[in-house]
Structures are given as structure tokens and as C-alpha cells.
Structure 1
Amino acid sequence: MAIGSEVEHWDVVIVGAGIAGLAAAIALRQEGRSILVLEKSSMNKEVGALISLQPNASKIVNGWNMTPFLEEKKPMVDEAFRLLNIEGKLQVEMKLNTSQFGADRMLYHRQDLHDALRQAATSDDMPGSPAVIRTSSGVLGCDCDTGVVHISKGSSVQGDVIVGADGIRSAIRDEVIKGSASEGSKAIPTGLSAYRILVETDKLPKLDISEDVFSLKRSATTMIVGHDKRVIMGPGRGGEMFGLVCLVPDPNPNNEGTSWNNSAPLKEVLEAFAAFPAWVKEIISHAPDVALWQLRDIDPLTTWTKGRAILIGDAAHAMLPTQGQGASQSIEDAEALQAYLSDIGKEASGQDIQERLEAVQRARYDRASLIQAYSRLQAKPAASQDNKTVKLNPQEFMEYNCNYSGAKNWVERNREAEEMAYKQTAARA
């Protein structure tokens, strides 16, 4: 796939070493294939929060044989999703199990999952050649046709394939959509913000609540909904940590910051959730610190690809966390790259590469865009006017989201469904 020698050349250049970028580095590993990952941060400290991989993503990760890297991180199987009203009364309990979708919903500390992906991407013990990660290497943009990526330090590198995994403020997206109907697409404030809290479980007191309703020891995700707010919480790191995401109407909608690290006073959170059960506020009150994260997403782009470049993860389809599918869709993107680029050789032309990347987009675009829409839909107020009944149905999109076995399988299933619909229509004519 060589295209020149004026600048340092790599077979694959991945911009961004978050979950999407590292997953792509693992998925694209092959013997003799050179992969460079450019990351603007120093990667000294990944954001502290809990994160889930849904069964659709767990199945893919399991196929990458990452057990040696994950098992020491104390991942937890999420055994149920429990929905409570503002009075703390159980409304819905949805049991989760492997047999349903072929894999478990897994709970991780975000830092642990990120570290495991980084280790797997660069390890000599994984199949294929290890990826190289360069930190403190922010990217200014790229030439999508030649594959030249411009780094903020004044240097450039060249890749046969450019993977833009640089998040919701993607520099690669600016280049990919230039001249398209999506040009100018920016992160959109959604009217919501989230307080993020992470507490050491052994520092929490015994709670004044029946264990039938809620228990810190239960390996489950619990959501409490009331007024225009909700709390989503659950354990992580083998039960050592307990995490909460507390959604509220955006207190500062004109804020331009999308950082996960904006601090907020604990008093502000307690005041926002004053109407919630006392035991929930007891957990919140033990937070060592609070971060306020303005929730943004993007409208579906008209394209994810241009020339040798393709967008994945938040750069392509940033979505709200209400479906818990953000990281999982990034994993799906990485698997799609693996599926369509696994047999492409070093002598492939730019046209060959462009066609492969366009096939990735066709396999992924409609599905990711629909899950984006689902996530927006589930962000709407979910409680009745008296706050005693919860209108949210956690099973509504579960089958679509989780019943997934890879990009090519998805394309084939959709083709068969279209053929069946055509035959049924023809039979009725």
C-alpha cells in the first residue's frame, strides 16, 4: 500500500488514542502492517468513571482474545437493569444474561478498560505487529487524498489509511466533511449535563434501604427517574468502586467546554437532587469530588469517508450516554474496519482503499445513526407528571442494539430481510 517516501510512512495512521482509536489499533493488527496512533494528550491519566460494554461490543472484544489484559482489571458482569421512581420504588427489573445475546454486558472502570486496550494494541503477545503510540502529538488536519497527516509540532506523517478517532471535536472530521452537506457540523448542546461521581465502596455507610430494592453489593445498573432528572449508578472494579451519573437540565447551556473534568461543588449536586430518596443523597454526599460534563452529540453526517480517511467513534457519530452505547459503537466501528481491510495488501491503490472504506460506512452508517436517534429519544423526560410512574422502557431498543454479530453479518441479515420483504410484496401484487 506504499504511496510515497517524502515523509515518514505508515500503513495505518490512527488519530486519537481513546477507546475507538485503541480498539481500531487492535482490530487492524496484522503481521507486517505498521500502525501509528497519534494522541494529543500525554496519556498520564485517563478520566475516572465507570463505563459499560454492551453485549454487541463484548462479543467483539471476546473475539479479540483480550482476556489476559482484561481479567486483572476486575471487570464485572452486569446482571440486571433496575428502574426506580423518585420514591425509590422498583418499577422495572430487566435480567441480563449471556444466552440472550451471546455475551454479557460488562462493567469497567474507564481507566482500566482504556489501559487494557492500550496494552493489547502495543503488546507482542497479540496477533500481528504491535501498534506504536505517540503521545503529545496533536493533529491539525490531513490531506484525505494523499494520506498526509499534519501534526501540531510542525511535522507530518503519511498513511495509506487514516482513521479519525479523535472525538467529538475531531480535526479529521473537518477535513472529511469539507465540501459536503455536513460541512460546519459541530458538537450540539443537548440541553443536558451530567454530574459524574466515583466513590470507594468501602467508604460508604450502611444505607437505610431494603436490599430487595437496592444494594451496593448487587452487580446491577440502577436508574432512578423523577421530575426532569435521573441518576444512573452501579459498581465497578470488582465492587471496589461505585459510580453515579446524575443527569440534569444544563445549568449553563452557553458553555463551550465539553471536558469531562470540569469540577462542580458537591452542594450543587445535592441541591439538584433534593427530591430524590435520602439514601441516594447519602451516596452522593460521600463523593470525594464531582465533575460536570455538558452532554453534546452531533447530527448524522452525510459522509464518514473521503479518499484514504474514515471517521469512527465520536468523531463519526457522537451520541448521548442514555443507551450506554457510545463505547460499544466504537468497538463495532473497529470490527468493521477489521472485516473490510483484513485482506487488503500493501500494493492496494488509493481507489481500492477508498472503496473499502466506503463499504465500512455502508455497513455501519444506518445502524449507528439510528442508535444516535434512540439515545436522543431516551433523553427526554421519562416520568409521569406526579413522578410516581416511569414511562421509560429499557427493553425498547435492546434487541436492535445488542443482537449484533459483526458488520458483514449485519449487512447479510439486512440483505436477506430486504429480499424477504420484496418477495412478500411481490406475492401480494
Structure 2
Amino acid sequence: MTQPDTHSLNIAIIGSGLAGCLAARILREQHTVTIYEREPRNTETGAAINLGPNAVQVLDSVGFDRVRACSIPVTRCITYNRKGENVGETDVDYATEYGADWLFHHRADLRDELLRLATAPSEELGLKGRPANVVYGTRVVGGDVEEGRLRLDNGEEVKADLVVAADGIRSTMRGLVVGEDAYITAQPAGTSAFRFTMTREKVIEIVGGVPDILDSSKPASMVGMYAFDPTERRAVMYACRNYEILNFAVIVPDSMLKALPEDSWSAPGDRDEMVSLFADYPEWMLAYFRAAENVKLWQLREQDPLPTYIRGRTVLVGDAAHAMTPHQGQGGNQAIEDGEGFRLFLGDHVTRDNVPSLLVDFDRVRRPRASRIQRNTSQTMGRYSEKEVHQFRRLNWTYPGIWEGLRRVRAGEELIQWGDGEARRERPAVASQL
């Protein structure tokens, strides 16, 4: 008679976004993983996303396929003021400086590749264990976080050894884990983002040729145009999907909008209003705005740092744990770091009985790290110089991984050590603010 494997857990993951899919990819090597996704089919909202070296190092370690994900390695940042004057330009070999590339993606392409890593046959990926199973069209409506019990909207109850709540900014599980009403809902951050993408063909039509930002023979760039005034207006654009799409994020204070948008990626935006709010920007930027189609308006939200990510057998990850605005581009990166954290659950030390203690270790590393980045993001929404735009980049893009992070925490060391590796040889001038 075959004896049960006491080191293999039954794991329920709520949500198939970035954090949920990467957690499934890590955990499937040893455990039985089921993802409960409220959408009725494989879908992804949003536009583009950039991942810094802290996240890319993790992806490189799990078989991430850049060709499938249409990844673009970026080496250049160009900053303009609202007059169209170039006020800063940096060229950096990020792989050398930080240990991995800085990659740009269409969000759907990135999520599809992470879903493949979670669900593809083990033989295809060269892994042990079984693929994660995704149950679509199933909403988790409550449960017992201490015991690992979930209630589904169809009336079914699910029992798991570990529950990973990757259920997003409107998390059902957040209030159950934290137990305080103040943390149930992420709050408006005071700014909103017009979001749209433009095809390569449309950009060429507007410009009259291929602009540098879509020229694959030139260094890939993130271009930011900042008002550098109290309005905090900014427009950021970069290529994704193998230079076939140009992504735009155009941020304005809520006080300047005629009406506040819905808290949704897909709320319609008014193109003419966007153009009028940036009338003092140069014509070459406004030409893009006037030609924009299918503009969306997304109200940015943020969550105060939580007092805990864990309770019993349940852990919050991704936006459920640390929703933040995109001003430092760290929302997706922190979701990837969260997913990597489940390496704590691989090995013969893992049993059903010690799941709560392993979650304590997870929380000791992940929560202080993500909370610090949340606070920095909130403090740097207003930018008045090119230097302020990038002031936290080194902190953001430096992360040792969950096991080394836990060793440092247990030893009373700083999680982020500025001397890590040859690339981290200089402490930034703003380190005292960190």
C-alpha cells in the first residue's frame, strides 16, 4: 500500500493574476495546486507593464520564455519637461548593474506566459509534480482563514492546507486575514491615469516614419514627460509586444477631471478631456493624444501598509496585500517577489502542521519589503526634477530572494544591503530618505 506523501500539500490559490500564477509555478513542483479564477475564461485586462531586475531574476530562474512573452529589454530612460526639453537621459546595462534586465511587456503576454508556467505539462517544462488546475468562473465569497476553508459562490466548500489569496485590489480575503475594517478597501490615491495603446502602423502614420521608440535597432527606451509642477501631470510611453505596440500612461490629479472614473481598468476615458489637460505640452506629444482610440481612465488606488499578510493557513499576496500606485512601477514587481516567496514551501521540511510557521517566515521578509516600497511610492507622487523620478530605483531593483532574505532577517541584518554584488557599489544620494 502506497503511503501518503506528508510533504505534499493541497493548496488553493485565489486568482490567476501575476502573483497567483507565479505562486502556482513554484508550488506545483511539490504540491497539488488549484487556482480559483472568478472570470469565466482566460482573460487579462490592462495595457503594458515593466518588470525590473528584481522580478526578472526570479522569472529567469523558473523557465520564463521571453520569446513567448514578447519581452523587450530596456536600457535607456529619457525624461522631458512639459516644454519638450530633454532634462535627463541615462543609458544603463541593467543586467550588469543589477544582475538582470529591465523588461517591457504587454500585460496579457506576460500573464499568458506565467499561466503557461503554472499549467503546462510537467514534461514540457522539465519539472517534477503536476500542473496546477485552473477552475474558471468560480468566485471565492468567504471562508475560514485559520482552518484553510473557502466558500465558493456555487455553495461548495473547499478545504486546503494552504490558501494563497491573490484576489486583487478588491480582495475578499483581506478583511478576513487582517480583521480590521480600515484595511478592507484600498483608497483613492488622488490621481487617475488615462490608458491607451497604439499600433506600430498608427504611430508611423502620425510621425511620418518609425520613431526611435519603436526602432528595434536602437536601444529600447522608456520616455517620460513630466510637468514638474504641483499638478503632478505626466505622460509615460514605451514599446511592448516586440515593438508592435506603443503603450501610454497619462496621469492627472483627480481634482482636474470633470468626473471621477470608476475604480476599474476598463472605465471609458474622454480623449478630448485628456488633450485639454495637457494643452501646454508640446505638439509632438499631443499628436499622439489626439489620435488615441479606446482610451480608458483608471482611478489609482493605494492600500496603507497592512499589519499582517497572514492568518492561520492563509496569506495575502499581490494587490490583495500591498496595492500601490504605478508611480514607481513596482506593483507587478512586488507580485513576482511574492510568488518567489513560496520557495519556502519546497523541501522535506514542509508538512501540513508547520504551514502556519512557514507563513510567519514569509511575512517576516515580504511584508516589511513591500510596505517600504508602498510608503516610498506614496511619498514620491509629486516630482519636480529628473533625479526624483528615479530616486528609489536602486532600492526597488535590489532583492536577494526569500531564502537569503530570511537568513538576513533572522541575523538582524538589513534585507537590502547596498554592497550586494559588484553592481551595488554606490549608495544613492537619497539613501537617507529610504
Equivalent residue in structure 2 for 1:377, among 373, 376, 379: 379
Aligned to 1:362: 364
**Distance in 1 (alpha carbons) for counterparts of 2:408 and 2:322:** 22
1:19-71 deviations in whole A, cap 9, x for unaligned? 1111111111224x21000011123431141101110000000000122xx41
Q: Is 2:291 the counterpart of 1:290?
A: no
**Distance in 2 (alpha carbons) for counterparts of 1:255 and 1:90:** 32
Deviation, 1:402, is 0.9
3-state SS in 1 of match to 2:207: coil
Tell me, yes or no, if the aligned pair for 1:209 and 1:279 is still in contact at 8 Å.
no
Write the letter of the residue equivalent to 1:114.
Answer: R
**Distance in 2 (alpha carbons) for counterparts of 1:249 and 1:372:** 19
Q: Is 2:122 the counterpart of 1:120?
A: no
3-state SS in 2 of match to 1:239: coil
**Distance in 1 (alpha carbons) for counterparts of 2:9 and 2:358:** 18
**Distance in 2 (alpha carbons) for counterparts of 1:39 and 1:176:** 19
1:291–1:392 distance in 2 versus 1, CA, 3 Å: farther
Aligned to 1:225: 226
**Distance in 2 (alpha carbons) for counterparts of 1:239 and 1:267:** 27
Tell me, yes or no, if the aligned pair for 1:378 and 1:392 is still in contact at 8 Å.
no
1:242-293 deviations in whole A, cap 9, x for unaligned? 0000000115699583210001121111111111111111112222210000
Aligned to 2:393: 398
Aligned to 1:386: none
Aligned to 1:89: 85
Aligned to 1:43: 41
Aligned to 1:281: 286
**Distance in 2 (alpha carbons) for counterparts of 1:10 and 1:136:** 24
Deviation, 1:184, is 4.4
Equivalent residue in structure 1 for 2:52, among 51, 54, 57: 54
3-state SS in 1 of match to 2:154: coil
Q: Tell me which moved more, 120-129 or 410-419.
A: 410-419
Map residues 320-335 of structure 1 onto 2, 5 A cutoff.
320-335=325-340
3-state SS in 2 of match to 1:171: coil
1:326-384 deviations in whole A, cap 9, x for unaligned? 1110010111122x1112567531xx11110010000111110111111112212x23x
Q: Which runs of 5+ in 1 are unaligned?
A: 3-8, 384-389, 422-429
Identity of aligned residues (%): 30
Q: Is 2:277 the counterpart of 1:269?
A: no
Tell me, yes or no, if the aligned pair for 1:96 and 1:105 is still in contact at 8 Å.
no
Q: Which runs of 5+ in 2 are unaligned?
A: 418-434
1:111-155 deviations in whole A, cap 9, x for unaligned? 101111111110112323100011111111120122111111111
**Distance in 2 (alpha carbons) for counterparts of 1:256 and 1:52:** 24
Write the letter of the residue equivalent to 2:16.
Answer: A
Runs (4+) off by over 4 Å: 208-211, 251-256, 344-347
TM-score for the superposition, normalised by structure 1:
0.86
Deviation, 1:207, is 3.2
TM-score for the superposition, normalised by structure 2:
0.86
3-state SS in 2 of match to 1:186: coil
**Distance in 2 (alpha carbons) for counterparts of 1:53 and 1:81:** 14
Tell me, yes or no, if the aligned pair for 1:208 and 1:279 is still in contact at 8 Å.
no
Q: Is 2:250 the counterpart of 1:246?
A: yes
**Distance in 2 (alpha carbons) for counterparts of 1:362 and 1:37:** 25
Aligned to 1:158: 159
Q: Tell me which moved more, 191-200 or 90-99.
A: 90-99
1:344–1:308 distance in 2 versus 1, CA, 3 Å: farther
Deviation, 1:185, is 3.6
Q: Is 2:404 the counterpart of 1:412?
A: no
1:66–1:215 distance in 2 versus 1, CA, 3 Å: closer
Q: Tell me which moved more, 394-403 or 327-336.
A: 394-403
1:80-123 deviations in whole A, cap 9, x for unaligned? 12111111111112223210111001000001011111111101
Aligned to 2:22: 23
**Distance in 1 (alpha carbons) for counterparts of 2:153 and 2:207:** 51
3-state SS in 1 of match to 2:388: coil
Map residues 61-80 of structure 1 onto 2, 5 A cutoff.
61-67=59-65, 70-80=66-76
Tell me, yes or no, if the aligned pair for 1:53 and 1:327 is still in contact at 8 Å.
yes
Write the letter of the residue equivalent to 1:176.
Answer: V
Tell me, yes or no, if the aligned pair for 1:83 and 1:93 is still in contact at 8 Å.
yes
Aligned to 2:136: 135
Deviation, 1:412, is 3.4
Aligned length: 396
Tell me, yes or no, if the aligned pair for 1:50 and 1:109 is still in contact at 8 Å.
yes
1:319–1:253 distance in 2 versus 1, CA, 3 Å: farther
Aligned to 1:103: 100
Q: Tell me which moved more, 254-263 or 80-89.
A: 254-263
**Distance in 2 (alpha carbons) for counterparts of 1:392 and 1:188:** 28
3-state SS in 2 of match to 1:393: helix
1:216-256 deviations in whole A, cap 9, x for unaligned? 43511111001420001100111100000000011569958
**Distance in 2 (alpha carbons) for counterparts of 1:195 and 1:341:** 40
**Distance in 1 (alpha carbons) for counterparts of 2:35 and 2:57:** 24
Write the letter of the residue equivalent to 2:97.
Answer: Q
Write the letter of the residue equivalent to 1:240.
Answer: E
Write the letter of the residue equivalent to 2:388.
Answer: N
3-state SS in 1 of match to 2:191: strand
Deviation, 1:405, is 2.5
Map residues 332-343 of structure 1 onto 2, 5 A cutoff.
332-338=337-343, 340-343=344-347
**Distance in 2 (alpha carbons) for counterparts of 1:25 and 1:327:** 16
Aligned to 1:426: none
